[in-house]
């Protein structure tokens, strides 16, 4: 674990500028060897940390100059016509349209009305805060060449094979590995869409070192955009072969055919068709003539990896989103009440909305847990005091707010599937959104920052310490200039 521990600050440094036009950046990280538990990968793995830092800095600056945090973000966003964009940390973001998800989140929340409600609440003694996170994070890892330059002992590619059998079944063998993210369902759905078949007829083989191809890892939110793209390419090659064989059988041109509900159909004569399994049977058993040079087995393989924009930069596909948290703080107890939570992420083509929404829900839960309660606590002798779930608190269902999840879909031109990474979107957006909301709620007291986790006793202590100082009421101006 010690060998992978430094990767977190390395990735954090690479992503520290977020989605903003920051021309120069310096990040210093200190690694310390101790006899306590080593730090290692967790959902986000450096990206959640960078999102937290830059989003807190943006809000801190907005508070300092009394500017609406939305206006400050809009003023500094990388614009759509500036992509591919090389950051100050030698990363290339393939494309982006950050305003789209921000505008959608503000619309769902009715932002201006909520700010007006906040001003009224403050006159009545309530501590109501609005926290915004317009996070940008990279996914998919990189090309094999660029990873080799940095001495990564893995490639950036994935391989997938699609086979149509003569019994009507379709098999997909892929190097991706399901770890609960729904990649098996998404893989089957990709093939079902391309071949126009029932998803129940598709069998996905993965996590099998004997049968499945080598995989380069289901981490970095790369399974769908890299492995899924390989599957898409393989399925399209199978479709082309099916159409070529069926055209020979039916005596028509390939451009006159299309796939519908498990059959190859003549477009202008839909009564003329042949089932996919029949095409496979006739081809594999040699019961019909085949086009010259066509192999009898209907099986195709494809390999995909992310392209490079420039050799001196680490090229990544980037996902982005806007999370907004509305929270009220009870000053007498320090308790935080999350009243609303809106998450709008741009993930390119969304293959399965329910699975993606589940990914967002799970990530937000982890991010809120980090912000509210999770902490590894040691005594003076280095003994871990939070070694079980009796002592180490994580969010339960009762701790979670109702999540309003929506998507914007800006197609990703970097991958054939058009999708973006999703696995770490929720955790990247949640922590800064909540902390920004709490600090915004307490800003009339002059509070500008509180370290995570935001336990009630810590909030209560910060409130009481601030009350001994002169209150500094600096509610944000709206973009129209209203206080």
Does 368 lie in the same domain as 222?
no
Closest CA to 76 of 94, 95, 60, 99: 99
Burial of 453 (0-12, 13-18, 19+ CB in 10 A): middle
User: What is the chain's length?
Assistant: 483
- Asked whether residue 135 is assigned to any structural domain, the reply reads yes
Same domain, 427 and 378: yes
314 neighbors 83 (Cβ within 8 angstroms): no
Residue listed under structure tokens 């793995």: 45
**CATH classification of the domain holding 174:** 3.30.365.10
271 falls within a domain: no
- Please tell me the predicted confidence (pLDDT) of residue 187: 95
Spacing of C-alpha 179 from chain mean position: 15
Nearest CA to 139 out of 171, 93, 105 is that of 93
Instruction: Give the whole-angstrom CA distance, residue 112 versus residue 100.
Output: 17
412-471 per-position pLDDT tens digit: 888 899 888 888 888 999 999 999 999 999 999 999 999 999 999 999 999 999 998 755
Both 291 and 379 in a single domain? no
Instruction: Quote the domain boundaries for residue 201.
Output: 157-241+276-305
The model's pTM: 0.90
Q: Are residue 89 and residue 67 in the same domain, yes or no?
A: yes
pLDDT digits (tens, 9 = 90+) for 91-103: 888 889 999 999 9
* Pair 65, 128 in one domain: yes
Q: What is the pLDDT of residues 15-43, one digit of tens each?
A: 899 999 999 988 888 878 888 877 777 78
- What confidence tens digit (pLDDT) does each residue in 59-90 have? 999 999 999 999 999 999 999 999 888 899 88
What does the H/E/C string look like for 9-57?
Answer: HHHHHHHCCCCECCCCCCCCCCCCCCCCCCCCCCCCCCHHHHHHHHHHH
Residue 264 lies in a domain: no
Tell me the CA end-to-end span of the chain in Å, nearest whole number: 50
pLDDT band of residue 309 (cuts 50, 70, 90) is: low
Burial of residue 71 (CB within 10 Å: 0-12, 13-18, 19+) is middle
Based on the fold, state whether residues 65 and 189 are members of the same structural domain.
no
- Is 73 domain-assigned? yes
The answer to whether residue 248 is domain-embedded is no
Residue 106 C-beta-side C-alpha neighbours within 13 Å: 20
Residues 6+ apart with CB under 8 A from 119: 475, 483
> Does the residue 258 lie in any domain?
no
* Alpha carbons 436 and 449: distance in angstroms, whole number: 9
Number of domains in the chain: 2
Is the pLDDT reported for residue 380 higher than 80? yes
- Contact between 360 and 403 (Cβ < 8 Å): yes
Domain finish residue from 305, 323, 358: 305
Does one domain contain both 456 and 441?
Answer: yes
For residues 179 and 298, state if they share a domain.
Answer: yes
Q: Which residues pair with 407 in a beta bridge?
A: 345
Please tell me the distance from the alpha carbon of residue 319 to that of residue 419, in angstroms, as a whole number.
9
> Of the residues 284, 305, 326, which one is the last residue of a structural domain?
305
314 with 462, same domain: the answer is: yes
- For residues 315 and 451, state if they share a domain: yes
- The C-alpha atoms of residue 211 and residue 306 are separated, in whole angstroms, by 25
Please answer whether residues 195 and 235 qualify as being in contact, where contact means their C-beta atoms are separated by less than 8 angstroms.
yes
Percent of residues, the chain, with pLDDT higher than 90: 62
Residues 45 and 184 in one domain: no
Helices (H), 204-275: 229-250
Final residue belonging to a domain, choices 252, 284, 305: 305
Instruction: Please name which of 207, 240, 224, 134 lies closest in space to residue 416, comparing C-alpha atoms.
Output: 224
**Beta-strand (E) ranges in 112-267?**
127-139, 157-164, 170-174, 202-205, 257-260, 263-266
The candidate with the shortest Cα–Cα distance to 404, out of 324, 348, 321, is 324
Q: Are residues 187 and 316 in the same domain?
A: no
User: Which of 372, 451, 479 is closest to 69 using CA atoms?
Assistant: 479
Q: Per the domain annotation, does 254 fall within a domain?
A: no
Q: Is residue 372, in this structure, part of any structural domain at all?
A: yes
């Amino acid at each position: 674990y010690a060998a992978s521990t430094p990767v977190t600050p390395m990735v954090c440094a690479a992503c520290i500028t977020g989605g903003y036009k920051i021309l120069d950046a310096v990040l210093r990280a200190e690694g310390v060897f101790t006899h306590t538990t080593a730090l290692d990968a967790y959902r986000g793995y450096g990206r959640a940390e960078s999102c937290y830092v830059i989003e807190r800095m943006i809000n801190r600056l907005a508070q300092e100059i009394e500017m609406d945090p939305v206006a400050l973000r809009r003023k500094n966003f990388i614009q759509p016509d500036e992509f591919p964009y090389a950051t100050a940390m030698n990363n290339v973001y393939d494309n982006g349209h950050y305003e789209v998800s921000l505008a959608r989140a503000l619309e769902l929340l009715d932002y201006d009305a909520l700010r007006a409600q906040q001003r009224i609440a403050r006159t009545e003694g309530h501590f109501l805060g609005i926290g915004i996170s317009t996070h940008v994070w990279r996914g998919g890892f990189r090309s094999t060449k660029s990873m080799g330059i940095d001495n990564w002992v893995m490639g950036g590619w994935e391989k997938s094979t699609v086979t149509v059998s003569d019994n009507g079944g379709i098999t997909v063998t892929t190097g991706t590995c399901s770890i609960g993210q729904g990649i098996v369902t998404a893989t089957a759905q990709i093939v079902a869409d391309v071949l126009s078949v029932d998803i129940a007829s598709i069998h996905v083989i993965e996590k099998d070192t004997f049968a499945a191809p080598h995989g380069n890892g289901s981490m970095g939110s790369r399974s769908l955009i890299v492995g899924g793209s390989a599957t898409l390419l393989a399925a399209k090659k199978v479709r082309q072969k099916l159409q070529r064989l069926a055209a020979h059988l039916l005596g028509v041109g390939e451009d006159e055919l299309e796939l519908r509900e498990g059959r190859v159909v003549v477009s202008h004569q839909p009564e003329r068709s042949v089932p996919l399994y029949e095409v496979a049977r006739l081809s594999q058993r040699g019961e019909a003539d085949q086009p010259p040079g066509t192999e009898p087995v209907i099986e195709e393989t494809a390999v995909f990896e992310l392209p490079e924009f420039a050799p001196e930069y680490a090229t990544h596909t980037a996902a982005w989103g806007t999370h907004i948290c509305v929270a009220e703080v009870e000053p007498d107890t320090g308790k935080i009440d999350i009243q609303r939570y809106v998450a709008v992420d741009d993930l390119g083509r969304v293959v399965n909305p329910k699975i993606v929404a589940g990914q967002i829900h799970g990530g937000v839960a982890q991010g809120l847990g980090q912000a509210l309660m999770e902490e590894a606590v040691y005594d003076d002798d280095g003994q871990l005091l939070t070694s079980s779930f009796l002592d180490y608190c994580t969010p339960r269902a009762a701790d979670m707010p109702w999540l309003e999840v929506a998507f914007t879909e800006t197609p990703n031109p970097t991958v054939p599937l058009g999708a973006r990474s999703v696995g770490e979107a929720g955790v990247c957006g949640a922590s800064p959104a909540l902390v920004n909301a709490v600090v915004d709620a307490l800003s009339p007291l002059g509070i500008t920052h509180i370290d995570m986790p935001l336990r009630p006793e810590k909030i209560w202590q910060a409130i009481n310490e601030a009350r001994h100082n002169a209150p500094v009421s600096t509610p944000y101006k709206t973009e129209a200039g209203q206080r």
